[in-house]
Structures are given as structure tokens and as C-alpha cells.
């Protein structure tokens, strides 16, 4: 798929992590998604219904981050990818979850997990 729609730096507060204080206090997570889809139908019709409404998708992704806690950002990324693939025109998605306040005892710039999933792969997991 040659066309992409990207949403980067989506910030939401979640309570994910393996430590009790992470679950209790929460922290900010940043999410990047790159959606692979054919944008030609939307370009031809000039109609948002023929593409991904990234504003509405952002609302759903934030709800996932703010929702049920998980231990691992790998699990969170998988949930986010599933939501992106629920959008009909999306054939493939790359999701990166950043945990900039991860409990690491050393100075660091970022901790992130990136996964790539496609529609066919998602069907096989159901």
C-alpha cells in the first residue's frame, strides 16, 4: 500500500505498567500511528466517509490508553492496532507507544514499542 495517513504524538494519561505506583499514579503515553490505505477514493470524492476520520480515531485511541490498565506497552500497542484495523479502508498499521516516564533509574530520552499489523493477520488472530 503506497498511501499513508499518520497521526503522531497523540498524548493520553494511562495507568499501565508492572509496578503498583504506575497503576495508582498513572503517567502520560504518546502514541504514533501510521495507517496504510488507498486514499484515491477519498481524493476523488473529497468526502471524509471515503477515508479514515483521524479525529474520531484519535478519540477511540485515547479512550484505550485511558481505559483498562495493562502491564506491558506491547499489549497496549496491540489493542491500539486492533482499533486502527477496525477502520474499513485501513489495510496495515504501524503503532508506536512511547512511555517517556518509564521507571528507569538512568537518564534516557524515550522508551517505545513499535508493532506492525495488517488486516489479514488480524483476521487470523480472531
Active-site position among 99, 116, 121, 126:
99
pLDDT of residue 55: 97
Domain count, the chain: 1
Say if pTM beats, i.e. exceeds, 0.75.
Answer: yes
118 is in which domain, residue-wise? 4-125
**Torsion sign across C-alpha atoms 44, 49, 52, 53:** positive
Mean pLDDT of 22-32: 97
Does the annotation mark 123 as catalytic?
no
Q: How far apart are CA 8 and CA 5, in angstroms?
A: 10
- CATH number where 54 lies: 3.30.1130.10
In angstroms, the Cα distances linking 59 to 64, 70, 113 are 9, 19, 21
pLDDT at 100 over 90: yes
Amino acid at each position: 500500500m503506497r498511501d499513508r495517513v499518520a497521526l503522531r504524538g497523540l498524548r493520553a494519561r494511562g495507568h499501565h505498567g508492572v509496578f503498583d505506583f504506575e497503576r495508582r499514579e498513572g503517567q502520560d503515553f504518546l502514541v504514533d500511528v501510521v495507517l496504510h490505505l488507498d486514499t484515491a477514493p477519498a481524493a476523488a470524492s473529497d468526502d471524509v466517509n471515503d477515508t479514515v476520520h483521524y479525529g474520531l480515531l484519535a478519540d477511540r485511541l485515547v479512550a484505550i490508553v485511558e481505559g483498562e490498565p495493562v502491564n506491558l506497552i506491547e499489549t497496549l500497542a496491540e489493542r491500539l492496532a486492533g482499533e486502527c484495523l477496525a477502520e474499513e479502508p485501513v489495510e496495515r498499521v504501524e503503532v508506536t507507544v512511547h512511555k517517556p516516564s518509564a521507571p528507569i533509574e538512568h537518564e534516557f530520552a524515550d522508551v517505545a514499542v513499535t508493532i506492525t499489523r495488517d488486516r489479514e493477520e488480524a483476521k487470523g488472530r480472531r
